[in-house]
Structure formats: C-alpha cells, structure tokens
Amino acid sequence: MGDAGDRDLTPGQRWAYRASPEHGPVREVEVLKVGTQRPKRVKVRFTAEEDEGREEWVPPARLRAPWAEKDTWLEAQRQWAELTQDAPDQDDPGFRAANLVFDTCPLNGRAEIGYNLRVRGLLFLQDIPGLCRLLGVSDAFFLADPRSQPGDDGTIIAPWPTTLATAQFLARVHAEVLLSELARMEERAQQRAIYGQHYPGRGKTPDSVVSPEVCAEVDAEFRQAWDLVSGWCGTEALDSRDELAALRIEVVRIGKLMEEAITALRAAGKRDTADYFAKRLGVPLDVVRNAELSGQ
C-alpha cells in the first residue's frame, strides 16, 4: 500500500494524513488542489471539526493512505512496528557478525539481511526450501516467530532473532570459508596497525592516508564481531583449522631440512645422490625456501 507520492491525486479525494512516517496522530484531509511547482505540494483541508477548516500545502508523502483504507494501513503499520521492535543498532556486534556471515557465505539468492535503518536486521527469505536444504532445518525454523510476514515482492520477512539464528547456522555450514576470511581480515588488520591505510585519489581529489592508530582503533571495534563469527563456526572447525596450520608448518620444516641436506650433498660432490633426493622431494627448492619464509 503506497502513500500519495505513488498515486494520482485529484481534488475531492479523502486521505489519511500523518506528518511523521511512523508515529503521531492520523487525521482525515480532503485534497483541494495539486501544486504545479517543485518540490511537489498538495493543498488539503483538515475535515475534523476541531481543525476548523484548516488548510495547508503539504508534501504528498504525508498522505499515507486513502481514508477508506485507513484501518488496513494502520494494521499494517502495527504489524511492521512489532516486526522491527527488537532491531539491532548498526554498531551491535551481533549485527556486524551477521552481516559478515551473509556477505561471505554463498547463498545464491536464497536470503539476504536488511541493512538500512527501516529494515535493519530483518531477514528477507526468497527461497525457504533451498535454505532449509542448505542448513538442514525445516521451514518451521524460519516461520516460528509469529511476527514473520509476507513482503510485497513475494518474500517472507522474518525478525532479527530469526536472522541471528540463521547466521549462526550458516556459519557452521560454511565454517571453512568464514575462517579463511577471518584470517585474511586479521592479517590486513595487523598490516594496517603498522602501516596505516592508503586510499588513492581520483581526478583532482588527492590521495588520503589513515594513520595506523586510527586503523587499529577501527579494527578493534569490529574484532568482537569477528570473535562471534569464529565462535559460531564451532570448535570442530577451529580445531581442524589449527591442526591444518600446524601440519603446514611441519611440512615446511621438513622441506627445509631436505633442502639443507640436498645442498650439503652437492657441496660434498655427491650430485647424483642430491639429484635423487631433489627428485623425490617433488617440488623445486626455491618453492621450499619461499614456503619456509611464509610459514614462519
């Protein structure tokens, strides 16, 4: 149900008028005249007896619904207020963590999280069956909260608690992807804390540099969200990642020992034996040296 900004206005129409988008009294007005200048304005007369025929030029967006549809519009407003009553603050660590999960995990159009003020933290579900298969849950998981409601575009809109729970399930399903992204983010944060952040200019706009101190402060604000995502991935995924990292370090260490032995054999004039072990190693010695440096 769109406001008067989406409809043709003609004199004589009766509309529900409210100055504020979400709150305040609703009054019946009659359209007297539609202005021709920009920004667009509509001249209305307030019909209530206590308004004593008051007339004003108002933005058409303040005409919220045709007066005959007032009750339906008000009920939709009430339901939306309930749906969004526990929406998170934009700086909430849980909201930041959920954003990271939804931005990183491959969802293929199944669902998305609301970012802007009016829809912040809401879950827009485009493919509930597909999401159920991905997460191993039933559709009741997404519809359990009675505040969930259909959207104008055929989606189902669920409130913030459902969004948060979905992000936690997604983190377990895509733990490897998320842990890799968290590692990259942590590495970038460590670099910024030392060197700062450089942004190249465009056109006549000069380059800009953010100091290491500011970078460290900003990253510290987000680290709580990173820790939440890491926890959502589960201890099994974290343990597996730690074991893999330890295994890579051990492989690098053994490769370095082989490189030293091969070098020593060649220095001792035992080239055939050195070439035999180099062939058994399976990778060029330069690769072993570079891997050793990145593994430290």
Q: Is residue 192 part of a domain?
A: yes
| Per-residue pLDDT tens over the stretch 142-177 | 999 999 999 888 899 999 999 999 999 999 999 999
Instruction: With a cut of 70, say whether residue 182 has pLDDT above it.
Output: yes
Instruction: With a cut of 50, say whether residue 293 has pLDDT above it.
Output: no
Q: For the ranges 8-17, 143-152, 169-178, 285-294, which has the lowest average pLDDT?
A: 285-294
| Per-residue pLDDT tens over the stretch 255-281 | 667 777 778 888 888 888 877 767 766
Instruction: With a cut of 70, say whether residue 180 has pLDDT above it.
Output: yes
Instruction: With a cut of 80, say whether residue 252 has pLDDT above it.
Output: no
Q: Is residue 227 part of a domain?
A: yes
Q: Is residue 86 part of a domain?
A: no
Angle, CA 116 vertex, CA 41 and CA 225 arms, to 5°:
165
Spell out a b/e string for 184-217, using b for 16 or more CB atoms within 10 Å of the CB, else e.
ebeeebeebeeeeeeeeeeeeeeeeeeeeeebee
Say how far apart CA 294 and CA 73 lie, in whole Å: 62
pTM of the full predicted structure?
A: 0.72
Task: Please give the pLDDT value at position 98.
Answer: 97
Domain boundary among the residues 147, 173, 199 is at 173
Domain boundary among the residues 40, 71, 102 is at 71
Q: Which domain holds residue 48?
A: 4-71
Bond into 39 cis (ω within 30): yes
Task: Please give the pLDDT value at position 153.
Answer: 83
Q: For the ranges 122-131, 209-218, 268-277, which has the lowest average pLDDT?
A: 268-277
Task: Please give the pLDDT value at position 62.
Answer: 95
Instruction: With a cut of 60, say whether residue 292 has pLDDT above it.
Output: no
Task: Please give the pLDDT value at position 140.
Answer: 93
Total domains, the chain: 4
Domain boundary among the residues 154, 173, 192 is at 173
Average pLDDT estimate for 124-152: 93
Q: Identify which has the larger pLDDT, 7 or 176.
A: 176
Same domain, 97 and 168: yes
Task: Please give the pLDDT value at position 273.
Answer: 83
Q: Which of 80, 83, 77, 79 is nearest to 163 (CA)?
A: 83
| Per-residue pLDDT tens over the stretch 150-159 | 988 889 999 9
Q: Is residue 87 part of a domain?
A: no
Task: Please give the pLDDT value at position 244.
Answer: 41
Q: CA 34 → CA 43, 56, 59, 164, distances in Å?
A: 6, 12, 10, 46
Same domain, 107 and 166: yes
- Kindly provide the residue ranges of all beta strands, DSSP E only, lying in 50-102, ordered along the sequence: 55-58, 63-66
Asked whether the CA dihedral 68, 82, 226, 125 is positive or negative, the reply is: negative
Q: Which of 189, 187, 181 is nearest to 229 (CA)?
A: 181
